[in-house]
Amino acid sequence: MNMLENDDLVSLITDLVLKELKSGEIQVNKVPVSISARHIHLSKEHLEALFGADHKLTKVKDISQPGQFAAEEKVTLVGSKGKIENVRVLGPLRKETQVEISITDSRALGIKPVISESGNLEGTPGITIIGPKGTINIDKGCLVAERHIHMTSHDAKVFGVIDGQKVNVKAEGHRGGVFMNVVIRVREDYALDMHIDVDEANAFDISNGDMLEILK
């Protein structure tokens, strides 16, 4: 193969890569996004208090993270100013009950919004939860989830980030912008996925499955 043929080959490969980038077949430093509507994770104790002794969650469908699912069961949230009905329970059960809402929800309920990582319930407000068989009052556990990206250690190496790191993420489009302070969460059983709530998605005109760019 002569030099001209080599140059032609490089040019051909470059053209192919550019076409793939434009078509979205190759996503450079991008992650898919999932929009989290308000929901609740229940402990076994609270599940039984709300739905009856020995009650088991009824799976409706899998959600973005492996092993997690949307259940048929729903509850009503009650705050000092109002209530929100038909809040979906997600499975599996957890050690502690956790309610995840948006800032808009918190204002409708009359609850001070506290932004926190999922699982970190310290300093979060409580709420009243009503089920078909009972009512409970939790003194903490109602939060606005901090925006975050799930990934495996391999993903983290590819993106050049580490667990707990905060990055900026860019959304394209007419109402696009930059999400700041997005937490990287690394675990081997995670699927690559960025989670934002409904308020954030509406503000940036984002849909489930959109690809957003990690800026770091």
DSSP 87-98: EEEEES--SS-E
Q: What are phi and psi of 25, to 5 degrees?
A: -70, -30
CA 134-105-172 angle, to 5 degrees, is: 135
Q: What is the mean pLDDT of residues 89-116?
A: 97
For residue range 43-99, what is the model confidence (pLDDT) as tens digits?
999 999 999 999 999 999 999 999 999 999 999 999 999 999 999 999 999 999 999
Q: Is 54 left (phi over 0), alpha (psi -120 to 50) or beta?
A: left
Ranges of each domain in the chain? 27-34+147-214, 37-145
Say what the pLDDT of residue 214 is. 97
Say what the pLDDT of residue 26 is. 43
**In the structure encoding, which two tokens stand for residue 63, read together?**
């959600």
Q: What is the mean pLDDT of residues 180-206?
A: 97
Amino acid at the residue 156: A
For residue range 127-168, what is the model confidence (pLDDT) as tens digits?
999 999 999 999 999 999 999 999 999 999 999 999 999 999
Residue 126 makes CB contacts below 8 A (sequence gap 6+) with 137, 138, 139, 140, 141, 142
Cα–Cα distance measured from residue 76 to residue 90, given in angstroms and rounded to the nearest whole number? 14
181 or 3, higher pLDDT: 181
**In the structure encoding, which two tokens stand for residue 139, read together?**
């003194």
pLDDT at residue 29 greater than cutoff 60: yes
Selected from 3.40.50.720, 2.40.40.20, 3.30.365.10, 3.40.190.80, the CATH number assigned to the domain covering 27-34+147-214 reads 2.40.40.20
What confidence category does residue 5 fall into, taking pLDDT thresholds of 50, 70 and 90?
A: low
Amino acid at the residue 32: P
DSSP 146: P
pLDDT at residue 8 greater than cutoff 90: no
What confidence category does residue 31 fall into, taking pLDDT thresholds of 50, 70 and 90?
A: very high
pLDDT at residue 22 greater than cutoff 70: no
Question: Cβ(13)–Cβ(20) under 8 Å?
Answer: no
What confidence category does residue 216 fall into, taking pLDDT thresholds of 50, 70 and 90?
A: confident
* 3-class DSSP assignment, residue 75: strand
N residues, the chain: 216
